Amino acid sequence: MASDANHMYIGRFHLELCIPICNQHCRIPLWSLHRSYHRNRLREVSFTPTDNYEERYSWGIDYQTTGGGNVGLNPKIDNMIPAYRASKYPLILVSDSGIYMREDALMDMVNAMRDDVALVTQMPFCADRPGFGANLEQVYFGTGHARIYLAGNCLRFICSTGMSSLMRKCALEDAGGMENFSDYLAEDYFFGVAGWKIAISGLPAMQNTASPHPNTFHERICRWIKLRIAMLPHTIILEPLQDCFLSSVLGCCAVLILFPSSPIYVFYYLVSHLTYWIFCDYTLIHLVQNGPLPFSFAQFLFIWLYRETLSFPTWCRALLNPNIKWRKGNFRLCWGGRIAPPARSPRKLNNR
């Protein structure tokens, strides 16, 4: 049972994929690696800036392009456009440069690509790295973010993350091509709202950036909150309710109204609420980690309290400033998720 050479051979479990490797620096060539999977045997592909790609991957290079395009404001779309236009196979893999992929990760994503599925994503998580900033990212992506990501996909909400995703090229072409999403900063979300089903891979996307800093983490979370508010305005109300401390305050108010003569019940509720929430989050991060954590429970508890304490101030900060600084560009978010150049301040206009 087989189709043409560009598709899956069911009887022999054979699949051929064309993977464009993109880089935003115009002087570095962008390679498309043609990988062949046969009987579940995978070839390892890893990259370093000093690699001689042409010699090392002579078995798989189909073509090379240089630089990016200029189709809109989104720099990631501009970077991917040349490789996307040159791709000739039905599946497109988008993987950020800071993502570590296991050898079997791509095969796992392909296995999740059913006939009615157009987008397969990996749940964001973090590789084990030293430092408080790295542990902060790992706790967040293993607790709060994992909780919403898994629950949303279970309830068929669109909550895709584009840092590591596999998608059907035909679905993108039906929506006008990748360049049609160039005016959106959260292009990964709008990839997933075109009517097809989405699925989650069984393996997480392991973020592996060097020397993460808490300030960088907060800037990133603030940017994501701004995106969610612009795309789905009702999250202005719903977003803070998923945080432990704000929901505990609302719960304490409810207990005080129900039992006005017994204020001690408020204390009982608060202790039980925090204990249950911490227990669930610690269990969840253990399941996502699928192994021993790189920090103790005491360290986890400190980091968890630190993140939960700053979650509401981060939300307030995102609500007050719609401007976004991402990579080397500055953008202003508009309703619906579109982006525009940042508004100029009156002082700068008067100086002209």
3 state SS for the chain? CCCCCCCCECCCCEEEEEEECCCCCCCCEEEEEEEEEECCECCCCCCCCCCCHHHHCCCCEEEEEECCCCCCCCHHHHHHHHHHHHCCCCEEEEECCCEECCCCHHHHHHHCCCCCEEEEECCEEECCCCCHHHHHHHHHHHCHHHHHHHHHHHCCCCCCCCCEEEEEHHHHHHCCCHHHHCCECCHHHHHCCCCCEEEECCCCEEECCCCCCHHHHHHHHHHHHHHHHHHCCCHHHHHHHCCHHHHHHHHHHHHHHHCCCCCHHHHHHHHHHHHHHHHHHHHHHHHHHCCCCCCCHHHHHHHHHHHHHHHHHHHHHHHHCCEEEECCEEEEECCCCEEECCCCCHHHHHCC
pLDDT in tens, 70-97: 776 777 778 888 888 888 888 888 888 7
Q: What single-letter amino acid sits at 295?
A: F
Domain(s) of CATH 3.90.550: residues in the chain: 14-226
Beta strands at 91-95 and 329-333: parallel, antiparallel or unpaired? unpaired
Q: What are the residue numbers of the active site?
A: 188
Identify the CA nearest to 113 among candidates 19, 8, 191, 40.
Answer: 8
pLDDT in tens, 253-278: 999 999 988 889 999 999 999 999 99
Q: Which residue has the higher pLDDT, 231 or 207?
A: 207
pLDDT at residue 61 in the model: 53
Among 4-18, 52-66, 328-342, name the most confident range: 328-342
pTM of structure: 0.77
Among 85-94, 103-112, 245-254, name the most confident range: 245-254
CATH number of 14-226: 3.90.550
Q: Which residue has the higher pLDDT, 6 or 168?
A: 168
pLDDT at residue 270 in the model: 95
The pLDDT > 90 percentage for the chain reads: 30
Residue 59's CB is within 10 A of a number of other CB atoms, namely 10
